[in-house]
Structure 1
Amino acid sequence: MNGILYFYNMAESHFLFPESRPLRWGIIGCGSVAEKKSVPAYVNTPDFEVRMVMRRNEEKAKDYARRHKIAQWTTNADEVIAHPEIDAIYIATPPDSHKFYALKVAAAGKPCCIEKPMAPKYADSLAIYDAFRAKDIPLFVAYYRRSLPRFLKVKQWLDEGLIGKVRHIHWQKTKPPSHLDLSGEHNWRTDSKVAPGGYFDDLASHGLDLFTFLLGDIQMAHGIALNQQGLYSAHDTVSGTWLHEGVITGTGFWNFGSFQRVDNVEILGSGGKISFAVLDEAPLILENDSGQQSLEIPHPNHVQQFHVENIREHLSGRTIHPSTGKTGLHTSWVMDRILGNG
């Protein structure tokens, strides 16, 4: 396995770093998410090195490598996966290709981080998870909000019981159609072959994954998904209900043809309420018998920085990453249930 020693941990797989050099990453897909959010975080993380990037467009691949000072580039993903000087792979392509590339990475025996959502449907996510689990290879999913300080503060408030027993969580996420939606230009986020749930797949997945991190796994989920506007092939409005750990109810409403932009979560407890936004950088608000507290906790410059640093800690055997293949698989199941696919 490329000279890297693996060992099994009862929670998730780990492996030991090579002692004499950084862990060398290959990137499959270097579009918008890789510009600032993710790949610079890999570049800036101690003991990591981004050695090669891949994009199908030769000029764009070459330009990305030049601008980000990455030594090698290619238009062939197989070249990245099989390269003897690449230790681990980050898949940053649209979700319809995640399974295709991830199974190749698993076959090559290399650790992998996959952009969210893990795959368009639960069955595809399960196939990915099973392939890595069969070889005890570390698998991560880029639900980076689990690693961000602002959401760790929410978890701290919950763990400290500052709103008493949690009773219910509700999320409203709405926005008007974008210029791209109205223009009819291709957008993977609204193409049902790539993202059946539309923006729900891209955006709501972040929140649903975060809620299981904060409140525990979801035992049941149901929903209604429609295409109200007829602007594109994917769903544009979704409503859902779910149940955490058998005791905490949840509801969500996502509409991408609304007249206004709203991103608001409320966690209601027996002794208070926590309010925050999943996608926007709004204040965290805690209300209880002691009054109201509002906190502004900004994101890092590269929003996946803490997520990537946690990958390093996990691969070094020092901790368990909060977003693994197992947790990403659960989020895929919840999304399938709400969209009516399972």
Structure 2
Amino acid sequence: MQHTSKVVWGIIGCGDVAEVKSGPAFQKLNHSELHAVMRRNTEKAQDFASRHQVPKWYNNADELLKNEYINSIYIATPPSTHLEYTIRALEAGKNVYLEKPMALSYKQAKKITAAVEKYNSKLTLAHYRRHLPAFLKARQLLNSEVIGEVRFADIQVLQPIKSALVADSETNWRVDSAISGGGYFHDLAPHQIDLMCYFFGPYDTAHGFSAGQDNTYKADDIVNGIISFQNGVQCRGVWCFNTAEENKKESCIIYGSKGRIEFSFFGDVVKLIMENKTEEFRFKNIPQVQQPMIARTIGYFLGKESNPCSSDEGLQVAKIMDIFCGISVS
């Protein structure tokens, strides 16, 4: 019997991300219970459940989805299985909290969005930076027009071939396009592009191109893109994963008519620069960085608040990513 007064979770894919960034948050928050986890490797599924005091574990997603006590699913597998597991969870009448990127491609993301409507279930994308203190502060500064009218945003993610920004995993599946959708761009850029959409709203046009320059792996290792938003703001970004250690950089600068805002997507400091004076706002994130987003998702699943990141918003990010990579979105 499904609960209606609390969110009872099952996790599909209890790997690196679920270990610290998200998994423990499901047990810490009110009106939330982590009841079961699933991983195809039986030993690892059992180990995760034992270490995190999770009552049940499975090595088969169908068995987890048959559990009627569970009403919501967190899908934390690599992107190649997002479409399959999401649709199966929605068919089973479960709400879904889905890891980024939404799917392997915009075409797959469209199928997920259609399934959300078909099965009349709820789905939230795990673009958790939306609700971290630093980015809420940046958004508040933008909305208060402290830097005047926003002109454009400049994203630069310049990294050596082995980047510390990329999470460790047993196999380097993030550069296998069949599993990840592309290279490291597909792992990191969803958060950055989503924040721009969160700050500036719907977009009018986007253009971009990508290439594999170093040939260390088959996926592209450099992506450039520009976006023109409906409100007149423009954004340009470069994601390069083949540069020298000395060139390493990861930043976003938002330029306005009266000043600028600077921050790192992986940092905890927001800088406001006006008239050659710098004001810093410092924040400290908890280890379970997804906890604020999961809290909002629980509120949404229980009908107490709006969706913190809808499938339509995820679809917009997926479309921009494909355009940047020269993939047809028709």
**TM-score, structure 1 normalization:** 0.90
Amino acid of the structure 1 residue aligned with 2:303: G
Amino acid of the structure 1 residue aligned with 2:120: D
Q: 1:307 to 1:282 in 2, by over 3 A?
A: closer
Report the alpha carbon displacement of residue 179 of structure 1 after superposing the two structures with TM.
8.3
Preserved CA contact (<8 Å) 1:95 1:195: yes
- Paired with 1:41 and 1:219, the residues of 2 have a C-alpha distance of 36
Q: Which one of the candidate residues 256, 269, 272 is aligned to 1:283?
A: 269
- Paired with 2:255 and 2:114, the residues of 1 have a C-alpha distance of 36
Q: Which one of the candidate residues 303, 310, 325 is aligned to 1:324?
A: 310
Q: 2:25 — aligned with what? A: 41
Residue 254 (structure 2) pairs with residue 247 (structure 1):
no
Preserved CA contact (<8 Å) 2:80 2:181: no
Q: 1:154 — aligned with what? A: 138
* 1:73-110 CA-partner distances (Å, limit 9, x unpaired): 01000111121111110000000100011110111111
Preserved CA contact (<8 Å) 2:134 2:268: no
- Paired with 1:87 and 1:69, the residues of 2 have a C-alpha distance of 19
- Paired with 2:278 and 2:257, the residues of 1 have a C-alpha distance of 16
Residue 72 (structure 2) pairs with residue 88 (structure 1):
yes
Residue 248 (structure 2) pairs with residue 264 (structure 1):
no
**The residue matched to 2:11 in structure 1 has which SS?**
strand
- Paired with 1:246 and 1:324, the residues of 2 have a C-alpha distance of 21
Report the alpha carbon displacement of residue 329 of structure 1 after superposing the two structures with TM.
1.1
- Paired with 1:151 and 1:237, the residues of 2 have a C-alpha distance of 25
- Paired with 2:108 and 2:300, the residues of 1 have a C-alpha distance of 25
- Paired with 2:31 and 2:2, the residues of 1 have a C-alpha distance of 16
Q: Where in structure 2 are the equivalents of 1:69-84 lying within 5 Å?
A: 69-84=53-68
- Paired with 1:318 and 1:85, the residues of 2 have a C-alpha distance of 21
- Paired with 1:300 and 1:155, the residues of 2 have a C-alpha distance of 20
- Paired with 1:251 and 1:315, the residues of 2 have a C-alpha distance of 35
Q: Where in structure 2 are the equivalents of 1:131-142 lying within 5 Å?
A: 131-142=115-126
Q: Which one of the candidate residues 72, 85, 97 is aligned to 1:101?
A: 85
> Structure 1: where are the runs of 5+ without partners?
5-17
* 1:86-139 CA-partner distances (Å, limit 9, x unpaired): 111000000010001111011111100110000010010110111011222110
Amino acid of the structure 2 residue aligned with 1:157: L
Amino acid of the structure 2 residue aligned with 1:306: P
Report the alpha carbon displacement of residue 218 of structure 1 after superposing the two structures with TM.
2.0
- Paired with 1:289 and 1:39, the residues of 2 have a C-alpha distance of 44
Preserved CA contact (<8 Å) 1:221 1:240: yes
**TM-score, structure 2 normalization:** 0.94
Q: Number of residues paired by the alignment?
A: 322
Amino acid of the structure 1 residue aligned with 2:305: T
Preserved CA contact (<8 Å) 2:200 2:231: no
Q: 1:221 — aligned with what? A: 206
- Paired with 1:161 and 1:190, the residues of 2 have a C-alpha distance of 40
Preserved CA contact (<8 Å) 2:71 2:93: no
Residue 219 (structure 2) pairs with residue 231 (structure 1):
no
Preserved CA contact (<8 Å) 1:196 1:235: no
Percent of matched pairs sharing the same residue: 36
Structure 1 stretch displaced more, 286-295 or 300-309: 286-295
Amino acid of the structure 2 residue aligned with 1:238: V
**The residue matched to 1:193 in structure 2 has which SS?**
helix
Residue 293 (structure 2) pairs with residue 338 (structure 1):
no
Q: 2:188 — aligned with what? A: 203
**The residue matched to 1:53 in structure 2 has which SS?**
strand
Report the alpha carbon displacement of residue 290 of structure 1 after superposing the two structures with TM.
8.4
Report the alpha carbon displacement of residue 296 of structure 1 after superposing the two structures with TM.
1.2
Report the alpha carbon displacement of residue 322 of structure 1 after superposing the two structures with TM.
2.3
Preserved CA contact (<8 Å) 2:158 2:249: yes
Amino acid of the structure 2 residue aligned with 1:218: Y
Report the alpha carbon displacement of residue 231 of structure 1 after superposing the two structures with TM.
1.1
> Structure 2: where are the runs of 5+ without partners?
none
- Paired with 1:61 and 1:317, the residues of 2 have a C-alpha distance of 31
| RMSD across aligned positions (CA) | 1.7
Q: 1:160 to 1:246 in 2, by over 3 A?
A: closer
Preserved CA contact (<8 Å) 1:273 1:288: yes
Q: Which one of the candidate residues 118, 121, 126 is aligned to 2:110?
A: 126
- Paired with 1:170 and 1:111, the residues of 2 have a C-alpha distance of 36
Amino acid of the structure 2 residue aligned with 1:300: I
Preserved CA contact (<8 Å) 1:281 1:298: no
- Paired with 1:151 and 1:162, the residues of 2 have a C-alpha distance of 15
